[in-house]
Amino acid sequence: MRSPKDFFAPLAVGAPEPLRQIPVPPSRMIHFFDPSNEKMAAKVPDIAKKVDVLLGNLEDAVRADRKEAARNGLVSIAKSTDFGKTQLWTRVNSLDSPWVLDDLITLVTEIGDKLDVIMVPKVEGAQDIHYVDRLLAQLEARAGLTKPLLVHAILETASGVANVEEIAGASPRMQGISLGPADLAASRRMKTTRVGGGHPGYLVRTDPTGEDLNEGRTTYQQDLWHYTVARMVDACAANGILPYYGPFGDIRDVVACEDQFRNAFLLGCVGAWSLHPVQIDIAKKVFSPSPEDVAWARRVIAEMGDGTGAVMIDGKMQDDASVKQCRVVAELADALAADDPELAAAYDAATKEAS
Ligand SMILES: CC(=O)SCCNC(=O)CCNC(=O)[C@H](O)C(C)(C)COP(=O)(O)OP(=O)(O)OC[C@H]1O[C@@H](n2cnc3c(N)ncnc32)[C@H](O)[C@@H]1OP(=O)(O)O
Ligand SMILES: O=CC(=O)O
Ligand SMILES: [Mg+2]
C-alpha cells in the first residue's frame, strides 16, 4: 500500500501524472470482439459507431493458438481505425499466463496512445493491481505517453471478492470493476454451468398451506449475483470508480439478458458487457434512464428548489435524500443526451408532458 502522500506520484520517471478523477464518458456497453476473428474485426468500424466502448479481447474465448494473432490484430485495427468518441479498451490475458507480458509490452508500446483502459482478468487482490501499475508506468515512460492508461479489474475469483475494497482503491489508475460471473462461479465451486444470469434451482418457496407439501406453494427464482454486485458497487462508489455487470452468455435469451442488466443498473452499475451485436441495444436501453424516470427526476429537482426541506409530489414525500437520487438520474440523462439528439428529444418530450 502506497503512502497517501505518494498515491498520486508517477511510478516511473517520465511516466504521465496519474489522474485525480476518473473520467466518466458513457460506458453503457463494453462491446467484446476477438481481433483474430476476421469476420468480427471487419465489423469493428461500423460497430464502433454504435457502442460506447469497444474492447479487443485477448483472454478467454480466444484460442491459445490465436493469442498472437489477436494481439497483432488489435494493434493493426487500433492503428487503422478512427474510433471517434468511442473508447478503445482491451482485456489482456491473466497475470499468470504465458501471454500477458507480451500483451502489455506490445499494446502499450504500439497503441498506448489509442487505448483508454486495460481490463485485467482474475484479479485476486491489490498486489495484482500494484504489479500492473508499476509495469504500465515503466512502459508509458518508455513509449513517451502523456496520458495515463487506466485499469479495470474483473471480479471473478473468491479472493477478489474478499479483497474487493482494497482492489478498488489500489491505484489512481483504477477506472472500474466488472462482475465476471462465469469464472467467479468456477472459483467458488458453485454448481452452475452457465455464463451469468439466474438458475431455476436457486429459489425460495412459500410455506405449506396444508398436509400436502407440494400443493399451492409458489416458488420465486432468486438472484445468484445480488450479494457480489452489491459489494462491488459499494467498493467502487467508496473509491470513486465505476461498477459494471459482465457477460450474459445466453445470447438467444434477450429477455433475461435485459432483466439481468436492469438489476445491475438499478443497483448502481453504469454498464455491462455486450458479447454479440444483439446485446448492444439491450445495454443502451437499460443503462440509459427511461424518459419517464428522467421527467420525474427533473420535476422533483425543480419543485425542491434549493433542495432543503420536504415537499409532497403526487402523494410522495421528497427531501434531501430523494432529490439527490433524482440528481443522479438527471445528470446521467443530461450526459447521455449531450451526444444523442434522439435521447435528448425523448427526455425533453417526457419532461414537457409531465409538467
Ligand atoms: C466469460 C467471458 O469471458 S465472456 C467474454 C469472452 N467472450 C467473448 O468475447 C465472446 C464474443 N462473442 C462471440 O465470440 C460470438 O458472438 C459468439 C461465439 C458468442 C457467437 O458467434 P456466432 O455464432 O458467429 O454468432 P452469429 O452467427 O449470431 O453472428 C452473426 C454475425 O455477427 C458477428 N458477430 C458475432 N459476435 C460479434 C461480436 N462480438 N462483435 C462483432 N461481430 C460479432 C459474427 O461474426 C457474424 O458475422 P457474419 O454475419 O458476417 O457471419
Ligand atoms: O470473464 C468473465 C467471466 O464471467 O468469467
Ligand atoms: Mg472470466
ipTM confidence: 0.99
Q: Are residues 141 and 44 in the same domain?
A: yes
Place of cell 473508447: 87
Q: What is the largest CA-CA distance in the chain?
A: 76
Of 267, 287, 307, at which residue does a domain stop? 287
- Distance from the alpha carbon of residue 7 to the mean position of ligand 1, in angstroms: 40
- Residue 156 labelled as part of a binding site: yes
3-state secondary structure of 317: strand
Partner residues linked to 56 by β-bridges = 33, 90
- Atom number of ligand 1 nearest to Cα 37: 45
3-state secondary structure of 89: strand
Rounded Cα distance, 157 and 118, in Å:
18
Q: CB of 129 within 8 A of CB of 120?
A: yes
Tell me the C-alpha to C-alpha distance, in Å, between residue 117 and each of 27, 150, 335: 12, 5, 20
Of 287, 310, 336, at which residue does a domain stop? 287
- Distance from the alpha carbon of residue 349 to the mean position of ligand 3, in angstroms: 41
- Residue 46 labelled as part of a binding site: no
Domain that holds residue 29: 4-287
pLDDT by residue for the chain (355 residues), tens only, comes to: 678 899 999 999 999 999 999 999 999 999 999 999 999 999 999 999 999 999 999 999 999 999 999 999 999 999 999 999 999 999 999 999 999 999 999 999 999 999 999 999 999 999 999 999 999 999 999 999 999 999 999 999 999 999 999 999 999 999 999 999 999 999 999 999 999 999 999 999 999 999 999 999 999 999 999 999 999 999 999 999 999 999 999 999 999 999 999 999 999 999 999 999 999 999 999 999 999 999 999 999 999 999 999 999 999 999 999 999 999 999 999 999 999 999 999 999 999 999 8
Its pTM surpasses 0.90: yes
- Distance from the alpha carbon of residue 40 to the mean position of ligand 1, in angstroms: 7
Of 268, 287, 306, at which residue does a domain stop? 287
Length of the chain: 355
Q: Are residues 345 and 246 in the same domain?
A: no
Q: Is 156 in the pocket of ligand 2 (CB under 6 A)?
A: yes
Pocket of ligand 1 (CB under 6 A): 32-34, 39-40, 43, 47, 57, 60-61, 182, 195, 247, 251, 275-277
